[in-house]
Amino acid sequence: MLTIYEQVIFSLAVLISLYVAWGLTIRIRKIIARGKGNIDWKLARKRIFIVILKIITFQPVFRFRFWPSFFHGLVAWGFIYYLIVNLGDVLEGFILNFHFLGTGIIRNLYVLGADLLSVAVLIGMVALVIRRFILKSTDLSTRDDILLHPKAAHGIRRDSAIVSGFIIIHVGARFFGETFSIAANGNDPWQPFANSLAGLWFGLNPTLLVLAKHIAFWLALGTILLFIPYFIYSKHIHLFFAPLNFLLKPERRSLGELNPLDFEDETLEQFGATRIEDLDWELIMDAYACIMCFRCQDVCPAYNTGKVLSPATLEINKRYFLNQEGVRLAKGKSSSQSLIEFAIPTEAVWACTACGACVDICPVGNEPMRDILDIRRALVLMENNFPDQLQTAFRGMERTSNPWSIPSTERMKWAEGLEVPTIEENPNPDILWWVGCAPATDARAQKTARAFIEILNAAGVNYAVLGNLEQCTGDSARRAGNEYLFHEMALSNVEILNEASPKRIVTTCPHCLHTIKNEYPAYGGDYQIIHHSQLINELIADNRLNLNLGKSGKLTFHDPCYLGRQNDVIVEPRKVLQQSQNQYVELPRSGKMSFCCGAGGAQMWKEEEDGLERVSTNRIKEAYSTGADLMAVGCPFCMIMLSDANSENGNKLQVMDIAEIVARQLSK
């Protein structure tokens, strides 16, 4: 179809476009390589089919904002198909009388798909343009008090305008080009939309139709050549890096599992991340994968309660900084600013509850929470810069192996008057109960522990506790950035547990569950551990508990972040509760979409950063909205935070642990 001159010009344009794009690609590769760690390319082979399925189904996006996701999906599916369409159009343009995929049924199905998806893309793009530029959806922006790169607010809208225009011109020109071909060559029932529109051009001069077809070709494919270099520079490079994120992210036992630091390596000069090149390579790549959709901001408990933290702007600021300093970083030089200076302010770093909501919701697999915790490590270990209130918790863990500063000799005071076997008294139990620190100190948590004993005894479980040997798992130290303290506590606990050699561990604390299950394996401790709701569910299923069912009142359940979202324990607590209460109602934000209680990320040991309200207050008001009389929890931190919030707001419902609810219904 193309003349020889057009072919030469097009070929030169392709070479120039690819040359510029290749240079930018090499620079990005060098920037990502500045990060810590190495890529395990074997992971790509293991994940390739799952990633292809994710791309085809657009599955991660549809968890949130259905209609915007649907229209985005129309554009994405059309663009994937257009990879084939563009190849076919180039071949037909260069080869005389060539018909891509022949002239039979395969060709007919191919052009039908192109016709339908062309219209789908145009509909999707128009809807998205209306949403961003006319309706100006607040989902696509942040508050004025949030740190945002000075070029970002304008830059995101500019990128969106340019890319929207490109897609509409690219797909629209190709679609109109087909209408010109139909007008020149006759009806094509396999292109119903183009066929309908082609009637506008019937009767036009054939030479004019050929010219129009050539113009459409250059608008459709020429715009691609102009766009490719810009695409690499803009946020829309996520089309390439999102699949890479899914293919190459290091394997994790949980979205909250953190990488240990090697304190034995005397060559290390940096612990945690002060500058962007101190981050792990995959966290640098996150900046290129970011869609800038602000979904993570929408689910962030800190942002939603008025704190100055936005995980979205953290990634956006990283991306704009990389565009700004890419040449410098690619040459191996240090970045000119610290992460605290350009990416996220110190106050925002300490506002994070480490709940993992931002990681869980991200449609491209980004992990902003991990950046924040790595920055905390640097603040604590390199600069000795952290909130004063954390000093008390750190000192307690250093001196008495728990943040409450309770001596080990008083660890079992909560069990006075009860017969609770220790591991010395029962060295070969079926279940080792990791009690946790809270029952040793907090009166409310002690009620949970005593209720759980009732359940274990009623079911005839062969169990034991570590007693005075038990220590804090170190979860709060690690989430607060004191990695060295966590390192020491983890080594000590692994030694104790390996000596006990438990068949199975149970705990009433999701933070203990997460740490022992997901983080102790890096220290030589690999154990089978479950949450007490899982054990209770097993005991009920095995008919080892005789319950008086049918209590009146309405019950709801708050999913602890480190139980549901971080460790996928969602079904078992509900099974237990639904067998213990005749009216069960879900909170609007539940399961993996649960809202934090506000205690995680070591917030338990410090004052919340300034905001509009406490995280726990936001959550308890949501519970009130359900009309429930009783709110069940499965975490001592959640119990403390939500009980306090309930008290401050008029005690409008009861807050009880799952174990307490079951224990009160045991047949005596």
Among the listed residues 600, 610, 553, the one whose alpha carbon sits nearest the alpha carbon of residue 580: 553
Q: What is the 3-state secondary structure (H, E, C) of 576-636?
A: HHHCCCCEECCCCCCHHHCCCCCCCCCHHHCCCCCCCCCHHHHHHHHHHHCCCCEEEECCH
336 or 578: which carries more pLDDT confidence?
A: 336
In this model, does residue 268 exceed pLDDT 90? no
The tens digit of pLDDT for each residue in 10-57 reads 999 999 999 999 999 999 999 999 999 999 999 999 999 999 999 888
What is the pLDDT of the chain when averaged over all its residues? 94
The span from the CA of 275 to the CA of 378, in Å, is 10
According to the model, what pLDDT value does residue 114 have? 97
244 exposed, middle or buried (CB, 10 Å; 0-12, 13-18, 19+)? buried
According to the model, what pLDDT value does residue 68 have? 93
The tens digit of pLDDT for each residue in 177-208 reads 999 999 998 899 999 999 999 989 988 898 99
Among the listed residues 513, 245, 546, the one whose alpha carbon sits nearest the alpha carbon of residue 366: 245
In this model, does residue 550 exceed pLDDT 70? no
What dotted CATH number matches 389-539? 3.40.50
According to the model, what pLDDT value does residue 551 have? 61
Give the confidence band of 568 by pLDDT, cuts at 50, 70, 90.
Answer: very high
Say which CATH superfamily domain 276-381 falls into. Alpha-helical ferredoxin (1.10.1060.10)
CB 156 within 8 A of CB 292: yes
How far is the CA of 500 from the CAs of 233, 402, 423, 430, 525, in angstroms?
56, 20, 7, 12, 12
In this model, does residue 546 exceed pLDDT 90? no
The span from the CA of 483 to the CA of 476, in Å, is 10
Give the confidence band of 553 by pLDDT, cuts at 50, 70, 90.
Answer: confident
In this model, does residue 667 exceed pLDDT 80? no
Give the confidence band of 423 by pLDDT, cuts at 50, 70, 90.
Answer: very high
Mean pLDDT of 298-324: 97
According to the model, what pLDDT value does residue 340 have? 98
According to the model, what pLDDT value does residue 123 have? 98
In this model, does residue 581 exceed pLDDT 80? no
The tens digit of pLDDT for each residue in 401-417 reads 999 999 989 999 999 99
In this model, does residue 422 exceed pLDDT 70? yes
The residue type at 632: A
- Residue-range domain boundaries for the chain: 4-33+64-233, 276-381, 389-539, 548-663
Give the confidence band of 668 by pLDDT, cuts at 50, 70, 90.
Answer: low
According to the model, what pLDDT value does residue 248 have? 97
According to the model, what pLDDT value does residue 567 have? 97
In this model, does residue 269 exceed pLDDT 90? no
Mean pLDDT of 123-127: 97
Give the confidence band of 370 by pLDDT, cuts at 50, 70, 90.
Answer: very high
In this model, does residue 552 exceed pLDDT 80? no
The tens digit of pLDDT for each residue in 222-266 reads 999 999 999 888 888 999 999 999 999 999 999 989 999 989 888
According to the model, what pLDDT value does residue 338 have? 98
Mean pLDDT of 575-585: 86
Same fold, 276-381 and 548-663: no
The span from the CA of 162 to the CA of 149, in Å, is 20
CB count in 10 Å sphere of residue 78: 24
Structure token pair of residue 334: 């240090």
CATH topology of domain 548-663: Rossmann fold (3.40.50)
- Complete DSSP assignment for 322-349: HHHHHHHHHTTPPPSS-HHHHT--HHHH
Among the listed residues 328, 339, 329, 422, the one whose alpha carbon sits nearest the alpha carbon of residue 379: 339
pTM to 2 decimal places: 0.94
Helix (H) or strand (E) holding 531: strand 529-531
Give the confidence band of 604 by pLDDT, cuts at 50, 70, 90.
Answer: very high
Among the listed residues 184, 211, 212, 219, the one whose alpha carbon sits nearest the alpha carbon of residue 198: 184
The span from the CA of 128 to the CA of 139, in Å, is 12
In this model, does residue 323 exceed pLDDT 80? yes
According to the model, what pLDDT value does residue 162 have? 94
